[in-house]
Structure 1
Amino acid sequence: MRRLSAFYDRLILPHPLIVLVVFGLLLAVSALKFGQFRLDASAESLVLENDRSLEEYRQVNRRFTTSDDFLVVTYTPEDELFTEAGLSQLRRLRDELQALDAVGSTNSILNVPLLHSPDLTLDTVDSEIKTLDGNDVSPETARAALLDNPLYPNLLISEDAKTTAIQVNLPTPERYFDLLRKRDTLRDKATSGSATEAELADLEQAREEFIRYTATLGKERDATIREVRDILQRYRNNAEIHLGGVPMIVADMIRFIENDLSTFGFGVLAFLLITLAIIFRQWRWVLVPLLCCGFTVWLMVGLLGWAKWPVTVISSNFISLLLIMTLSLTIHLIVRYREFQHDEPEAKPGTILRQTVMAMIKPCFYMAITTIVAFGSLTFSGIRPVIDFGWMMTLGLTVAFLITFVIFPALLALLPPPRDRKVASDKVPFTDGFARFTEQHGKVVLSGSVVIAALCAVGINKLTVENSFIDYFKSSTEIHQGMITIDDRLGGTTPLDVVITDDKPPESAGIESDPFASSCDPFLDECDGEEEYRDTWYTYQKMRKLEEVHQYLDSLPETGKVLSINTTLDILARINQGEPLDALELAFVPAAVPDDLRDILLTPYISEEYDQARFTIRILETIPDLRRQALLDRIHKHLTTELGYDKDQVLFAGMTVMYNNMLQSLFDSQIKTIGVVFLAIMIMFLLLFRSLKLALIGMAPNLLAAGSVLGLMGWLGIPLDMMTITVAAITVGIAVDDTIHYIHRFKVEFSKDANYIATMHRCHRSIGQAMFYTSLTIISGFSILVLSNFIPTIYFGLFTGFAMFMALVGALTLLPRLIILMKPFS
């Protein structure tokens, strides 16, 4: 402490202006990279560490020439759709969308093949196909043809023909995939340890190039979506129009988070300002804490920009948390400063400031280091965004502590506050009431804590890890309404691919790919066994098995539109006068389909190069009891047990799989994280307090606070998701702060008279005030988050407030009651 005291006496307190000037230069350097600060809600931000789902997803899209990079415009006109006027209006909308620079193409009922001609056969399919764009087809004929085609209903047109969809394709440039492959190849070498120095330098360059290009691509896509919305707005007078699609979901999530960071960031600051003004009644006690909070956020935003470290949906609340932690530190300093002013009214401001810093730096350091441990435990998670969030908060808390104990005293040295005479009469009935209640009703405190702990245990057992994208947005938002429309009328929202790989015979079996090498002719007969080993998918036996898969997937209540090669075969059967194709006709399906229809009817479902068949499914996000993992398990079990496919033959891919993998890891991650948190904090308490009894006492309110938040979520049926996973760690960090400050102050006060009851009352009137002010300020500030359109942000605000309340109650009742009961101080 002598060296620390000398540091303040020589550098900080005598030269506050120089300190602030040097710090101002640091802020200026930090601000240079504000433009590099960015949000990332891409598929990579939802992927688990070492999870191959993203690569498998991209691989499936490449093999089957498909992509989810498209917007869906739902169009329900007020008047009849299938009239000349109705189709003309739709055509004008489609043409405006297609004219946008970033739009590669569009698909709608206007340009898809109708397959309605009476002269259409398998032999004339190339010449007799007609479209609304290219041929003179009456609206009623087109309506009947579209509804009669198994491909279009619940995809491009609703079953009642009142709603249609325009698919606006936004192709990802090949340069993106080139940069991605280059980065991943170099990263794999670096991970395996085989990369040379030159390759490591190339990796750093590839990362920066990929980040720059991704940021540019993201801005272009956001601009395109804004242009699409501007076009749609002009047509809304005569139609109900909604926008959907994965790119729009990503863009809206980023937009909501950015709005929350700016709008609610200022709103939180305003609430904090008002609360601080009401509590302390001096402008210095409003300005100085807000400056410290602002400087912390400023530096962290700049540091993330310099490091080119993107903020994800999960870590987007780190700014709010830094405000909490920085404000908590400054309020404790303010309360202690005012106490010294009251106790020593004749002391000089510099003396009081020095006493405050020396008295509070030790408990605040303990608080900061244990909170860093709590957030650092998130790095043990298997989820990359959660790991990044843990590191961000670790760095942010370090910055907050340094700013509080460097800039706070420098500012007060320049702006010494006058003595507040009202401090002498300051009594906080809230904390005094807790002290009296704890003294008089100790058994009630203990028994009540046991009851709450039991309720928490039951609630935690009710926790689930399922959630839908639609649950992230208020019902009044366009994205929510669009998802409902797509689910109800156009076959589902979230994509899921089921890919089946052909089972090849061992080379030693000597079975040739020549269909005539077998005694069974697969073109004419329904062969068993041998026929399955042929290279082509277009055989009777294989198509019959694929049809069984299709029918099963289509029968599930969670699935909307299901498409596969069997959809194509149904279309061809209708062309073939309603007769199913025989074995010989199946063999010639690839030749019968015209080249301009292959990308619609064949390549999205069959990859003969990789011997794979693909089923594309749309999951209904609006089903209340949607359970993704149970659905995937049920599908996998049916395919492997009932239909006889090997486990290695079945692959799930798509956004549904990646999101589900992250969700399913949350519960294990939460248990692992909480376990590491409490183990680390227990060790920290042992080091800080040097008493096993005191460490155990300190753990009790922390366990109760974290358990209360998780238990409440379980009782309310609020699932763990990519945002609420952090609530428990946040709660522990907050509860640890109160616990450390209270125990440290209790130890100091106890040395005066060795009276536990009297010490408790003094602590409630001193450090209890600081804890009460901190909790009140933060609860009131974060209450504004309930106005957000992003549901996870609302949950964050509500549970942060609840966590502060439970931490305060535990530290003012259970903690002192246990101290009085166990008497850990000699």
Structure 2
Amino acid sequence: MADRFFQWVIDNPRRIYAGVLLLTLALGALIPRIQIDTDPENMLPADNAARMFHNEVKQRFDLKDAIVVGAVAEEGIYTPESLAAMHSLTRDILKIDGVVEKDLMALSEVDNIRQDGPGVIRFEWMMRNAPQNQLEADRIAESVSRLPMLQNTLVSGDGKAAAIYVPIEDKNESYRIAEEIRTLFAGLESGDTYHLTGLPVAEDQFGFEMFVQMGISAPMAGAMIFVLMLLFFRNLPLVLAPMAVAMATVISTMGLLIGMGFTVHIMSSMIAIFLMPIAVVDSVHILSEFADRYRPGRNVRDTILEVMKHLFMPMLFTSVTSAVGFLSLMLTPIPPVQIFGAFVAFGILLAFILTIVFVPAYIVRVKPETLAALQAAQHRADKARGIDKLINPLGALARNRQGSLLVVFASVLVFSVVGITKIQINDNPINWFKQDHELRIADRALNSHFAGTYDAYLVMSAPENLAAAEELNRRAAEIQADDFVFDWQPLAGGAGFSAALDDRITQLDDALFDAGGDEAEVIEQLLALAERASLDAKVMTSPDLLNWMANLQGYLEASGLVGKSNGLPQLVKTVNRELVSGKSEDYRIPATPEGVAQTLLQYQSSHRPGDLWHFVTPDYRSGLLWLQLTSGDNQHMSAVMDTVDDYIGMHPAPVNVDVQWAGKAYLNSVWQDQMVAGMMDSLASAFLVVLVMMIALFRSVLWGLLAMLPLTLTIGLIYGMVGWLGIDYDMPIAVLSALTLGLSVDFAIHFIERFRSYLRKGNDYQQTLSLMFDEPARAISRNALVVALGFTPLLFAPLVPYVTVGIFLASIMATSALVTLLLLPAGIWLLQRWLVPAGQGKGQVTGFDPELGEAR
């Protein structure tokens, strides 16, 4: 059947050209619909519990994503010039479309809280106008020093930097807003250094630069591959065939992805770069074997049919196994990784189909003199340019040092396993940029001065206490059991219990106004009961709970993991101090819930009453602590979470509250953990599937196990080095395991298939090995060089994930080719008693006859 198929292929080249062109144009026309998505939140499914709770918390507390703008003045920020520049910058930022004006935090937009007489508190703007002299600037410094919620948040502890927190309506607009803010820096005359950072702008800017990089790296990879293949084959017309296959594969795959409505995420942006080198692998095998078999005057059709018949099954299995490696990524719980794996797998299979139909059809239409030039030039190039100079020493090593090689590879495996145990899982969107990028510079500068520009939220909520509602209804019924004077409808417990209680208190107040005598006494008892229940329901007014939260904050800051935390305790303490005496000894939580409620009521008279609801909900049943972290690494976040767990374990909350996490830093740690578990499952599953496929392909358990050796050692060595070198195991490195699995077994399949074909012709182990280090080893080396060097343009990308992919893919290809050429001969040597039939190899090997494909 394969013979008839390839016969049809070479008989219908024009139809194939038209079909490939039509497919490419149709799917390529969908690319302009591209939509970019770099939000790490989308690493988690929309129905993920952590993601849903995070978004619920943002709505519940009216929290916005924010850009952090900072000014650093080495001589101190409290000067008229520096503060005037900050005042002017704030005013201009407020004019930018998309900025949430009411929530912007800056020295000119926050209150100074101070006592204005016994029992009287005064809220006035901290810096409504820019200071005109140093005395006014010093007054601002003194005021800030009295307000813990501003210290190390709006002004650094060393007094050398000030910050503006710019909340934005839509995080997808952060790059545009950031660019507008950057243009404002140029007009400031303070002489200070201005920076801009924050996860929203890092993510959105990565999307912008990623889009640019897509348009640069893929063409550069294509150009590099084109030059390499031209050097190998010295024949421009023939080299155009695999390049056409690669371009058609990339355009069609990206067009299909975009046309199906998928956004281009961090991972899917690399699909084009992954596919460009992979798509030419089969073509290199075809051209290499064709050049070895073809002789001037020989029928081109017969030669290409022989080549395709010989290579079809190895190419099919290598393509399927590579696709399986990427399809295994669909087992991860990370949607962008699933999409990436699915479409790279599709691209690999599409490249296989295009290769086996387009390349043979193309070759049969090439002029005979061009084919003759290919055959002659290829061997000259190999001899002159070092391919054989590389292969010959490897061949000698593989033939003469099998035992030593096995010892070396066993040692490498042990070394790799130890290294893998040292791997540290970590990621941080800021680290997607190189060290000299303006965002990285800003991140280092601002986090060195302030408590931290990364946010995490520790949320405490009262559970839905149905028993409290039942008890209240029961006692209300008892109070008016003999004298029913108020229509007390039973209150339901749950989320609306506190609000319903407040409504009931209002109803009782109204009823008391019209009541008298015994009737009024009953209503007063009901009112007292409801007010007590209301206070009990408003857990965030509990002095015990607030003191516990304050102690937790102190514990976190003492740990060194949290730069600072803000929450209801600081706000209550500050207002209480100014209400009582203005002295430091009254910076404390009031002794009663009523006292706490009084401070909160007073704060609502400030210029920014809405700030209260960022820390507590209106029903006072839920509150949060805003933690400022100096690092967005998920390892850092995990350590903070462990510290909180330790504290709660030693000091349980005095009130029954549920403690949960939210915030971008937390979500980052969640999807990283899920990624690791998912990658382990996907890699294990794919490994087993590929093993079964190898056993089926070679119809031998032993040969199938041998085929798995190169990928096992390659994956082990690459990831072992990650551990030994202390490189963070992040998303790009994680998904490279799929590529390692696919491409490492690719070389093994071609090696073993050719080795077995030589054995079937009567050659013994040594004769076969000599033949293997001729054309087969040359083809494997060419492929390894094409793919490895094809990714080198990524090394010059400004985005770290692209550089990481470039380095590791080059390493993977070089390692897997080397391991295949050295480990498989050693493994076969060890097992030749069972793999090589006895009595073979009576003749003497003097060379290789490419027409016959055997020794002569």
Report how far residue 366 of structure 1 moved.
Answer: 0.9
- Post-superposition Cα deviations, 1:5-51, rounded to whole Å, max 9, x if no partner, equal 323323x3233233212322222211221122333211432215852
2-side partners of 1:422 and 1:293: how far apart?
24
Matched, 1:75 2:62: no
Say if 2:582 is the partner of 1:621.
no
Deviation at 1:331, TM superposition (A): 0.8
SS of residue matched to 1:71: strand
Are 1:45 and 2:29 matched, yes or no?
no
* 1:311 alignment partner, SS class: coil
Q: Equivalent residue of 1:467, what SS?
A: coil
- Checking the alignment, whether the CA contact within 8 Å between 2:419 and 2:719 is kept in structure 1 is yes
Is the CA contact 1:499–1:650 (under 8 Å) kept in the aligned structure 2?
A: yes
Contact 2:289 2:307 (8 Å CA) reproduced: yes
Number of matched pairs: 765
CA deviations over 1:149-174 (Å, ceiling 9, x no partner): 111121111123321112222113xx
Deviation of 1:646 (Å): 8.6
* Alpha-carbon distance in structure 2 between the residues aligned to 1:22 and 1:35: 22
| Alpha-carbon contact 1:562-1:617 (below 8 Å) kept | yes
Indicate the SS of the match to 1:352. Answer: helix
Residue in 2 that maps onto 1:438: 398
For residues 640-655 of structure 1, the aligned pairs below 5 Å read 640-644=649-653, 649-655=658-664
Partner of 2:48, secondary structure, is: coil
Shift of residue 265, structure 1, vs aligned partner: 2.1
How far 1:678 moved relative to its partner? 1.5
- 2:602 aligns with 592
Q: Does 1:268 align with 2:226?
A: no
Alignment of 1:673 with 2:669, yes or no, is no
**Is residue 27 of structure 2 the alignment partner of residue 30 of structure 1?**
yes
1:166 is matched with: 164
Task: Tell me, in whole angstroms, the C-alpha distance in 2 between the residues paired with 1:362 and 1:59.
Answer: 54
Aligned to 1:131: 126
Q: Which whole-Å CA distance do the structure 1 matches of 2:233 and 2:45 have between them?
A: 46
Partner Cα separation in structure 2 for residue 222 and residue 786 of structure 1: 25
Percent of aligned positions that are identical? 19
Greater shift, 713-722 or 32-41, is seen at 32-41
Match of 1:406 among 341, 357, 364: 357
Whether 1:14 and 2:11 are equivalent positions in the alignment is yes
Deviations 1:477-514 (A, max 9, x none): 11111211232222212211101112547338836789
Distance 1:232 1:510, change over 3 A: same
2:787 pairs, out of 764, 771, 778, with 778
How far, CA to CA, are the matches of 1:591 and 1:645 in structure 2? 24
Structure of greater Rg:
2
Equivalent AA in structure 2 for residue 28 of structure 1: L
* C-alpha distance in structure 2 between counterparts of 1:287 and 1:293, whole Å: 10
CA contact 2:615–2:625 (8 Å) conserved in 1: yes
Instruction: Rate the CA distance shift 1:599–1:811 in 2: closer, same or farther, 3 A.
Output: farther
Structure 1 residues 601 and 94, CA gap change in structure 2 (3 angstroms): closer
Q: Check the 8 A contact 1:242/1:482 in 2, yes or no.
A: yes
- Unmatched runs of 5 consecutive residues or more in structure 1: 173-216
Q: Are residues 335 and 552 of structure 1, via their aligned partners in 2, closer, same or farther at CA, if it must alter by over 3 Å?
A: same
Match of 2:264 in 1: 311
Of 745, 755, 773, which aligns to 1:736?
Answer: 745
Spell out the pairing of 1:339-418 with structure 2 (5 A cutoff): 339-341=292-294, 344-416=295-367, 417-418=370-371
Q: Report the Cα distance in structure 2 between the residues aligned to 1:599 and 1:364, rounded to whole angstroms.
A: 69
TM-score by length of 1: 0.87
Deviates more, 1:308-317 or 1:322-331: 308-317
Residues 814, 399 of structure 1: CA spacing in aligned structure 2 closer, same or farther, 3 A cutoff?
same
Residue pairs, 1:33-432, within 5 angstroms: 33-47=30-44, 51-67=48-64, 69-77=65-73, 81-105=77-101, 106-116=104-114, 119=116, 123-125=120-122, 128-133=123-128, 138-172=136-170, 218=172, 220-235=173-188, 238-341=191-294, 344-416=295-367, 417-419=370-372, 420-424=375-379, 426-427=382-383, 428-432=388-392
Unaligned runs of 5+ in 2: 476-500, 506-523, 838-856
2: CA distance between counterparts of 1:467 and 1:221?
A: 21
Q: 2:326 & 2:131 partners in 1: Cα distance?
A: 66
Q: Where in structure 2 are the equivalents of 1:815-826 lying within 5 Å?
A: 815-823=824-832, 824-826=835-837
Flag the 1:148–1:490 CA change in 2: closer, same or farther, 3 A: same
For residues 180 and 763 of structure 2, what CA distance do their matches in structure 1 show?
72
- Conserved? CA contact 2:174–2:201, under 8 Å: no
Aligned to 1:492: 452
Q: Secondary structure at the match of 1:318?
A: helix
Contact 1:267-1:784 within 8 A present in 2 as well: yes
Change (3 A) 1:755 1:237: farther
Residues 128-185 of structure 1: per-residue CA shift (max 9 Å, x gap)? 523322698822211221232111121111123321112222113xxxxxxxxxxxxx
Please give the secondary structure, in 2, of the residue aligned with 1:537.
Answer: helix
Post-superposition offset of 1:52: 1.2
Contact 1:499–1:651 (8 Å) recurs in 2: yes
- Compute the displacement of 1:694 (Å): 0.6
Q: Match of 2:515?
A: none
What is the match of residue 197 of structure 1? none
- How far 1:87 moved relative to its partner? 3.0
In structure 2, what residue type is equivalent to 1:400?
A
Q: CA deviation at 1:77?
A: 4.5
In structure 2, relative to structure 1, the CA distance for the partners of 1:71 and 1:7 (3 Å cut) is same
1:255 alignment partner AA: F
Q: Matched residues in 2 for 1:794 and 1:237: separation?
A: 38
The answer as to whether partners of 1:49 and 1:384 remain within 8 angstroms in 2 is: no
Secondary structure, counterpart of 1:618 in structure 2:
strand
Shift in Å, 1:785: 2.0
Once the 2 structures are TM-superposed, how far is the Cα of residue 298 of structure 1 from its aligned partner?
0.7
Once the two structures are TM-superposed, the CA of residue 551 in structure 1 deviates from its matched residue by 2.1
Distance change in 2, residues 1:96/1:135 (3 Å) = closer
CA–CA separation in structure 2 for the residues paired with 1:365 and 1:646: 65
**What is the CA–CA distance in structure 1 between the aligned matches of 2:808 and 2:79, rounded to whole Å?**
53
Aligned residues: CA RMSD: 2.9
Specify the alignment match of 2:570 in structure 1.
Answer: 567
Judged with a 3 Å threshold, the aligned counterparts in structure 2 of structure 1 residues 104 and 121 are, in CA distance, closer, same or farther, namely farther
Distance 1:725 1:646 in 2: 43
* Residue 266 of structure 1: how far off its partner (Å): 2.6
> Taking structure 1 as reference, are residues 52 and 594 closer, same or farther at Cα in structure 2, changes over 3 Å only?
same
**Shift of residue 423, structure 1, vs aligned partner:** 4.1
Aligned mates of 1:448, 1:436 — CA distance in 2: 16
* Conserved? CA contact 2:87–2:129, under 8 Å: no
Task: Give the SS at the match of 2:727.
Answer: coil
Deviation for aligned residue 1:237: 8.7
- Of residues 779-788 and 134-143 in structure 1, the stretch that sits farther from structure 2 once superposed is 134-143
Aligned equivalents of 1:333, 1:610: Cα separation in 2: 72
Q: Decide whether the 8 Å contact of 2:277 with 2:787 is kept in 1.
A: yes
Which sits farther off after the overlay, 405-414 or 142-151?
405-414
**1:186 match:** none
Where does 1:597-608 land on structure 2 (aligned, <5 Å)? Answer: 597=607, 599=609, 601-608=611-618
C-alpha distance in structure 2 between counterparts of 1:670 and 1:14, whole Å = 45
Distance 1:82 1:610 in 2: 37
Q: Structure 2: how far apart are the matches of 1:722 and 1:559? A: 25
User: How far apart, CA to CA, are the structure 1 residues paired with 2:794 and 2:525?
Assistant: 71
Which residue in 2 is equivalent to 1:187? none
Which moves more between the two structures, 671-680 or 438-447? 671-680
After superposing the two structures, state which structure 1 stretch, 344-353 or 792-801, moved more. 344-353
CA distance in 2, matches of 1:645, 1:297: 60
Shift of 1:272: 1.9
Q: What residue identity is the alignment partner of 2:55?
A: R
1:330: Cα distance to partner? Answer: 1.3
**CA shift digits 1:260-310 (9 cap, x unpaired):** 322222322232222222222221343222222111111111101110112
Q: Secondary structure at the match of 2:665?
A: helix
Q: Secondary structure at the match of 1:107?
A: coil
